[in-house]
Amino acid sequence: MQFQFENSFDVKEKIDSSSIAILPIGAVEAHGPHLPLGTDNLLAERLSTELAKRVNGFVLPTLPYGQVWSLRNFPGSINISNHSLINFIVDIGDSLYKQGFKTFAMVNGHLGNGTALKEAARVLFEKCPELRVFYFFYPGMNKAVAKVRETDAAHGTYFHACEIETSYMLYLAPEYVDMERAITDIPTIPISADVTPTPWEEFTSTAVLGDAKLATKEKGKYVIDIALDNMVKIIKRLSE
């Protein structure tokens, strides 16, 4: 169910029946020559839609901007602060709580949002104690990715416009992928990037962290389906 297309006369009864709100959260940032700036928004939106079908939830309008400090200097990137993102999410969660929702699930399409989402969830935990809050970022993906990846990861945590994220797009939003422009760029990321602020232009000029040419729809489906199953199980188990 798409929340923004409901009307005020009917929505209260539907909230009482469902009580699950799902918020896609993405970002606008560089994703190489073969993926659009809104890749993270598309992935969050389409994953949220599939999740809503399985848990009978509402999909809220996408929150399309994220914390993209590391890529903020690349053409097309739009960065907002963690502080702004936290406040925005807390306000949304508080409104949902007052409307009668019992579960607020954030489906995140951008790794850089993780710190803000976790902090917002903690604030809501104190402010709205009866609201169950989740912050999902492809739960279970690491083990699944290890089974389909053909190249070593450029970094232990980061994946971006690479074999994996491009595979996600080929599965969830293939019409926005231009595989003829996919490239291979496996940068050497210094260990210092894990312990001090490091703009990505210091180690990549493309924002691609891997071999996008190896992406396939099948790889994307394998990982996404596992992540989706995990989200459904978590929501159903903890929202009862």
What is the arithmetic mean of pLDDT over 94-119? 97
* d(C-alpha 231, C-alpha 240), whole Å: 14
DSSP one-letter code for 61: P
What is the arithmetic mean of pLDDT over 38-48? 98
Q: What CATH number does residue 56 fall under? A: 3.40.50.10310
Q: Can you give the pLDDT at residue 240?
A: 63
Q: Can you give the pLDDT at residue 157?
A: 83
Summarize pLDDT for 174-210 with one digit per residue, the tens: 999 999 999 999 999 999 999 999 999 999 999 999 9
Give the pair of three-digit tokens for residue 102: 């019992």
In the predicted structure, residue 97 carries a pLDDT above the cut 90:
yes
Give the range of the structural domain holding residue 206, as residue numbers without chain letter.
Answer: 3-238
In the predicted structure, residue 20 carries a pLDDT above the cut 70:
yes
Which string of DSSP letters, residue by residue, matches 151-203?
A: S--SSSS---SSHHHHHHHHHH-GGG--GGG--EE-----GGGGTS---GGGT
In the predicted structure, residue 239 carries a pLDDT above the cut 80:
no
CA distances from 107 to 19, 133, 148, 171 (A): 16, 11, 23, 17
Q: How many domains does the chain have?
A: 1
